[in-house]
Amino acid sequence: MKGDYVFLYILVFLSLFFISIVFLLGFELYQGSSQIFSIYGINFILGSVWDPVKNIYGIAPIIVGSFLTCLIALILAVPISLLVAYFISDLTPAKLKPFVSSLVELLAAVPSVIYGLWGLLVLAPFLRSNVYLPLQKTFYFIPIFQGASTGYGILTAGIILAIMILPTITSIIREAIELLPLQIKEAAISLGAFRYQVARIIFIHLKLTIIAAIILGFARAFGEAMAVAMVIGGKHGFPVSIFDTGYTLPSIIVNEFTEAVNPLHYDALIAVGFILFIIALLNIVFARLLIYRSTRFFKLSIT
Amino acid sequence: MRIPSLRRFYDLIFVSICVIAFILAMIPLAWILIEIIINGISAFSIQLLTNLPRPAGVPGGGIANYIQGTIILVAIASLIGFPFGLFIGVFLSEFKEHKLVPIVRFFVDVFAEFPSIVIGIFVYVILVRGEIFELFGVQSICIGAICLGPMGFSALAGSISLALLMIPIVSKSVEESLNLVPVSIKEAALALGMSRWRTVFSISISYARTGILLAYILALSRIAGEAAPLLLTVLGSYYWFSGLFDRIGALPLAIFTYGISPFEDLRAQAWVASLLLILAILFLNIGLKILIRRRFAW
């Protein structure tokens, strides 16, 4: 029918328009930062000095800071989210399941700027007096524990990021556990496996999904702007200890964008955004392909 | 047969570690909510909801324009983003045999995970600076008497960035809820000679209206708290809304700028803004969900 063709063409047009927005995004970010790349070349990424007043832009310390905070976040969040995912899908009574899982989803619903406010005014002062200073007193001989700690910095940002990516990782793994063919679990139980052994078998079968979830969590942490910008303290140069202040790629955009000193400074921040976009894109695409692959595998094994 | 007690012991330890992990994950949630409620209520006063902001130290300042700004931004974003997302969701779910569908789904999935600040920079480059017009080789695009040029920091640019964030969220959940529509109903409609687009609108969307409404609410609660893209496209304002092409205030931006300020009274207002924002999000997430389930459930 004629109406159907028109309808389908409208839908196809809108979908292609959406896809072209994604391409335009990449192209415009590249275009916006091309001037920076032509002036500084590879030194933009490898340089270690960021001084807008003298128009020197190098983001190596910022990239290091980004990876460091995300690494801390993953170390803290991954084990907990694995356990929480198993807890929700297998240990919670069926009646309580919607309630418990919506509690975890609520953690994802809190806006990042509120995490930032809480981190800035509550968590950082608390951590400084109750955790960081005692830690430094005990482990003063370990190099990465030295240096002044204000409560704001890499570690605090990592902790906040861990809280924020926990629901992401948990919900992906929980959904995968629920998609897993029941026979696998039944076979394990009928062989007399205890719950920790069942969990181990589930996690072995979900290897790919877990890796994908971790990568997606990493991408989420890597792109998180507001909360990190509020607690990381903001310091140019390589961080020397985990209590040191620093910068991440998104947080430098947030902190310096409103007070950029000259047009080139704006361009440099756009270039930072471009680098962030590339790294996030690679992670997301890789994780998505892994998820598609693993779910296809399960659909095949069910039928 | 007796089960070796060591395994039973391991099992007990494993289960208790799971419970501890869950409690550990819930501590921050409870802590944040308690802090917001305590600090927000203690600083709350009715004049905060009616007055414009005043400089730090001057009593009588309010956050009214930020509330207004957030409502306006979210409303315009919904006008643009919701239909767009809805149509893509319909395409993904109702035309599964189309060869574009897997590609579109991949792009939607990838776009959904993009850092929101990247989308903010994108909108800053194309609209606030107006480089989209350079792409076409013109200064501005005119349709009749209305001319669109580089917008500068403006409410419209902010709304568009929020709309972009909204599209993948809406289309993914619309797709999921349309997938739940029984095929038999659609087949019945088609067998009676209904055209396909009528089937989509009168049968599928009507059947899945609860899910679609929930998709919209989910997206709404997600974008209401976004600050990063707004910072790059709106920049914030201390005055009432004065037009689509002017700067506008927003609650998340107020939380950020007031939170990092050194003044005690502004920080207190940031807590109140957080209280309002989190109440709105909780209301959307929990209250409306229950209400809609009860009202529209089949």
Q: What is the pLDDT of residues A3-47, one digit of tens each?
A: 888 999 999 999 999 999 999 999 999 988 888 889 888 888 888
* pLDDT given for residue A299 in this prediction: 55
pLDDT at B147 over 80: no
From residue A216, alpha-carbon distances to A96, A161, B200 in Å are: 28, 13, 33
Q: Angle CA(B222)–CA(A246)–CA(B224) in degrees, nearest 5?
A: 10
Decide if A10 and B87 are in contact by the 8 Å CB cutoff: yes
Query: Of the ranges A114-128, A235-249, B17-31, B223-237, which one carries the lowest mean pLDDT score?
Result: A235-249
pLDDT digits (tens, 9 = 90+) for B245-283: 888 889 999 999 999 988 888 899 999 999 999 999 988
State how far residue B225 is from chain A, nearest Cα, in angstroms: 5
Q: List B residues 14-43 in contact with A (Cβ-Cβ < 8 A).
A: 14-15, 17-19, 21-22, 24-26, 28-29, 31-32, 35-36
Q: Using CA coordinates, name the residue in chain A closest to B281.
A: A109
Pick from B196, B200, B255: which is nearest to A113 by CB? Answer: B255
Q: Which residues pair with A233 in a beta bridge?
A: A246
**Mean pLDDT, rounded, for B234-242:** 84
Best residue of A10, A16, A18 to probe chain B, by most B CBs closer than 10 Å: A18
pLDDT digits (tens, 9 = 90+) for A97-149: 888 888 888 898 899 999 999 999 999 999 988 888 888 888 777 777 777 77
* 3-state SS assignment for residue A176: helix
Which burial class, exposed, middle or buried, applies to B109 when counting CB atoms under 10 A from its CB (0-12, 13-18, 19+)? middle
State how far residue B119 is from chain A, nearest Cα, in angstroms: 8
* pLDDT given for residue A193 in this prediction: 87
* pLDDT given for residue B84 in this prediction: 94
Distance CA A21, CA B161 (A): 12
Query: Of the ranges B17-31, B85-99, B282-296, which one carries the lowest mean pLDDT score?
Result: B282-296
**Mean pLDDT, rounded, for B35-62:** 86
Phi, psi of A232 (to 5 degrees): -80, -15
Q: Domains of chain B: which residue ranges?
A: 64-249
Q: Using CA coordinates, name the residue in chain B closest to A167.
A: B25
Percent share of chain B, pLDDT over 90: 51
pLDDT at B298 over 70: no
Mean pLDDT, all residues of chain B: 87
Report the predicted TM-score, pTM, of the whole model to 2 decimal places: 0.91
Percent share of chain A, pLDDT over 70: 97
From residue B274, alpha-carbon distances to A41, B20, B37, B119, B251 in Å are: 42, 29, 9, 23, 8
**Mean pLDDT, rounded, for A163-184:** 90
Q: Angle CA(B223)–CA(B41)–CA(B256) in degrees, nearest 5?
A: 40
**Mean pLDDT, rounded, for B103-127:** 92
pLDDT at B4 over 80: no
Q: Using CA coordinates, name the residue in chain A closest to B130.
A: A28
Percent share of chain B, pLDDT over 70: 93
Report the residue count for chain B.
Answer: 298
**Mean pLDDT, rounded, for B191-217:** 89
Best CA proximity match to A155, nearest among A217, A223, A65, A86:
A65
Task: State which CATH number among 1.10.167.10, 3.40.1260.10, 2.60.40.1260, 1.10.3720.10 fits the domain covering B64-249.
Answer: 1.10.3720.10
Per CB-CB distance under 8 Å, the chain A contacts of B109 are: 288
pLDDT digits (tens, 9 = 90+) for A244-274: 888 999 999 998 888 887 888 988 999 999 9
* 3-state SS assignment for residue A153: coil
CB atoms within 10 A of CB B110: 17
pLDDT at B297 over 60: no
Q: Domains of chain A: which residue ranges?
A: 60-302
Decide if A87 and B196 are in contact by the 8 Å CB cutoff: no
Query: Of the ranges A126-130, A294-298, B76-80, which one carries the lowest mean pLDDT score?
Result: A294-298
The answer for residues whose C-beta is within 8 angstroms of residue B288's C-beta and 6 or more apart is B217
Task: Tell me the two tokens of residue A225.
Answer: 């702007």
Q: List B residues 140-199 in contact with A (Cβ-Cβ < 8 A).
A: 164, 167, 195-198
Task: Tell me the two tokens of residue A210.
Answer: 């877990």
The torsion of the CA quartet A217, A218, A223, A226, rounded to 10 degrees, works out to: 70
State how far residue A120 is from chain B, nearest Cα, in angstroms: 8
Q: Which residues pair with A57 in a beta bridge?
A: A50
ipTM of this predicted complex?
0.90
Per CB-CB distance under 8 Å, the chain B contacts of A290 are: none
Region at B45 (left for phi over 0; alpha for psi -120 to 50; beta for the rest): beta
**Mean pLDDT, rounded, for B191-213:** 89
Farthest-apart Cα atoms in chain A, separation = 78
Distance CA A197, CA A61 (A): 43
Q: Using CA coordinates, name the residue in chain B closest to A111.
A: B225
Distance CA B128, CA B233 (A): 7
* pLDDT given for residue B296 in this prediction: 59
pLDDT band (50, 70, 90) for residue B146: low
CB A117 within 8 A of CB B52: no
Q: Does B240 touch chain A (CB under 8 A)?
A: no
Which burial class, exposed, middle or buried, applies to B120 when counting CB atoms under 10 A from its CB (0-12, 13-18, 19+)? buried
Mean pLDDT, all residues of chain A: 88
pLDDT at A303 over 50: no
What is the separation, in whole angstroms, between the first and last Cα of chain B? 51
Please indicate whether residue A165 or residue B214 has the higher confidence score (pLDDT).
Answer: A165
Distance CA A282, CA A296 (A): 21
Name the CATH superfamily for A60-302.
Answer: MetI-like (1.10.3720.10)
Q: Does B115 touch chain A (CB under 8 A)?
A: yes
